[in-house]
Amino acid sequence: MQITRRKLLFAGGAAAAFTAGMYPVLKLDAQGVAPMTSTGMKTLADKRPTLHADGIRFGAYDPHGDFTGQAGVATEHLFLPWEDVDLDSLALADAYAMERKRNVLITVEPWSWDVNWRLTSDELRRKVMRGDYDQNMQAIAARMSAMKSPLILRWGQEMEDTSGRFSWSGWNPRDYIAAYRRMVDMTRKAVPGVKVMWSPKGMDGLRAYYPGDNYADLVGLSVFGLEEYDKIEYGAPQTFTDLLRKGYGLVENFNKPVWVAELGYEGGDSYVRPWMNDVTLKQADFPKLEEVVYFNDKDVHPWPHNLGRPDWRVVRPAKV
């Protein structure tokens, strides 16, 4: 099976990545040498966020195991499709998280990671609305019910995005909300203690997709900083505060705890260092922000302006 989305424990054989000690954990602020690029000198071999003692909680999607032995990581983030997936691996993820006393955030993407199996947006919507995928969600919920870690469900993220990246994004809000509530109800029936995260991207139009207070224990956002993109789109590099402000402003009136459910940054040292410091720093502008979760992998999709697929991974490859 060709996996074209995020590779993790659910993609054949990668469960081994969740075995403790498989990957070395590098020291904070390790130094290396990297080539000069248009964004400036990159000398940081490890750009992981600084964890402040009194700061925002931190979690990670970590298929490379870079945070395996790091203290202070509150949440383990998993992505899985609801087709073509080995659900037995959830037990391994649970054991991994339990050993490290971490929560588990499970993002369920309602499609297959094999592009040859994917439906059009309208086909997927029709099948979801008539219940064709109920058994898929019920199977996931049944496995979640056996997990002992504190669980958070994040279903169908970034639903207001209109780029065409996800087959479930851009649906009529009424249909999306009905589908989202349906999946949450199934999961809560099987896992009464589960929390649910409604997780838009942070764009205009997200409010129309809000499922109601009873269906959002948490609100998630996506914040990615890419120096080259910032220069093209905004005319200058942006900080974490700059890029969080709009999305946060759109969701703060829901009066829910806010997470950055997907976080990444890449650029030269002068760009990256402020991000490293600021993403877990408590800021008066964002009083409801409780946790940031780093996406520790290469992006799955190429960015606009021929910028390719940014590598958000905190540990940069050693140069020979």
Tokens of 104: 């588990």
| pLDDT recorded at residue 164 | 87
Task: Give me the chain's average pLDDT, please.
Answer: 89
Domain locations in the chain as residue ranges: 14-295
Pick the CATH number of 14-295 from 3.40.50.10950, 3.80.10.10, 3.20.20.80, 1.10.260.40: 3.20.20.80
Query: Rounded to an integer, what distance in angstroms lies between the CA atom of residue 306 and that of residue 229?
Result: 10
Is 262 catalytic? The answer is yes
Question: How many C-beta neighbours within 10 Å does residue 140 have?
Answer: 25
Helices 134-144 and 89-99 meet at what angle, rounded to 10?
40
| pLDDT recorded at residue 317 | 82
Query: Rounded to an integer, what distance in angstroms lies between the CA atom of residue 143 and that of residue 88?
Result: 8
Cα–Cα distances (Å) from 218 to 34, 48, 99, 115, 137, in that order, read: 39, 25, 25, 30, 20
Beta-carbon contacts of 172 under 8 Å, excluding residues fewer than 6 positions away, are: none
Determine the length of the chain. 320
pLDDT tens per residue across span 138-150 = 999 999 999 999 9
Give the chain's largest Cα–Cα span: 55
Q: Are 15 and 9 in contact (CB under 8 A)?
A: yes
**Does the model's pTM come out above 0.85?**
yes
Query: Which of 76, 158, 227, 266 is flagged as catalytic?
Result: 158
- Amino acid (1-letter code) at residue 112: S
Tokens of 301: 């999709």
Q: Any alpha helices (H) in the chain, and if so which ranges?
A: 89-99, 121-129, 134-144, 173-190, 227-234, 240-251, 269-278
Query: Rounded to an integer, what distance in angstroms lies between the CA atom of residue 108 and that of residue 121?
Result: 16
Q: What is the mean pLDDT of residues 152-160?
A: 98
Query: Which of 227, 228, 262, 291 is flagged as catalytic?
Result: 262
pLDDT tens per residue across span 37-82 = 445 799 999 999 999 999 999 999 999 999 999 999 999 999 999 9
Query: Rounded to an integer, what distance in angstroms lies between the CA atom of residue 291 and that of residue 59?
Result: 7
| pLDDT recorded at residue 39 | 53
Tokens 């705890």 belong to residue? 257
Question: Could you tell me which residues are beta bridge partners of residue 293?
Answer: 59
Is 158 catalytic? The answer is yes
Q: Are 75 and 103 in contact (CB under 8 A)?
A: yes
pLDDT band at 287 (very low <50, low <70, confident <90, very high): very high
Q: List the one residue out of 111, 109, 112 whose CA is nearest residue 153.
A: 109
Q: Any alpha helices (H) in 29-119, and if so which ranges?
A: 89-99
